[in-house]
């Protein structure tokens, strides 16, 4: 079998290669955009959780709570010190 090169075959191959490159570039941009959106959602969820914890801390600041059924090894004793 003898293969002959033609100008139309060469141009067709070049256009196919360019088309595939354009499609891959577009798919890459979509994947980057999707990653950025998911990263942004994750950051917002983290900020929301931090704000919730901060608000809970402010609500309970200065309050004393009695814990029942707690392992004594996990409890930290705090001594009272007078601040001058």
**How do residues 42-81 score in pLDDT, each as one tens digit?**
999 999 999 999 999 998 888 887 777 777 777 676 777 7
Q: Give residue 2's pLDDT.
A: 64
| DSSP assignments along 7-63, one per residue | HHHHHHHHHHHHHHHHHHHHHHHHHHHHHHHHHHHHHHHHHHHHHHHHHHHHHHTT-
Domain assignment present for residue 47? The answer is yes
Inform me whether the pLDDT recorded for 40 exceeds 80: yes
Inform me whether the pLDDT recorded for 8 exceeds 70: yes
Q: Give residue 75's pLDDT.
A: 67
Mean pLDDT computed over 7-27: 95
Quote the domain boundaries for residue 54: 21-60
| Distance, first Cα to last Cα, the chain | 99
Domain assignment present for residue 7? The answer is no
Domain count, the chain: 1
Q: Is the pTM of this model over 0.85?
A: no
Domain assignment present for residue 80? The answer is no
């Amino acid at each position: 079998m003898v293969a002959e090169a033609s100008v139309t075959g060469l141009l067709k191959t070049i256009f196919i290669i360019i088309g595939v490159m354009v499609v891959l570039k577009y798919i890459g941009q979509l994947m980057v955009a999707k990653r950025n959106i998911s990263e942004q959602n994750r950051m917002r969820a983290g900020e929301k959780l931090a704000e919730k914890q901060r608000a809970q801390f402010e609500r309970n600041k200065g309050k004393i709570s009695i814990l029942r059924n707690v392992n004594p090894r996990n409890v930290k004793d705090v001594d009272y010190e007078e601040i001058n």
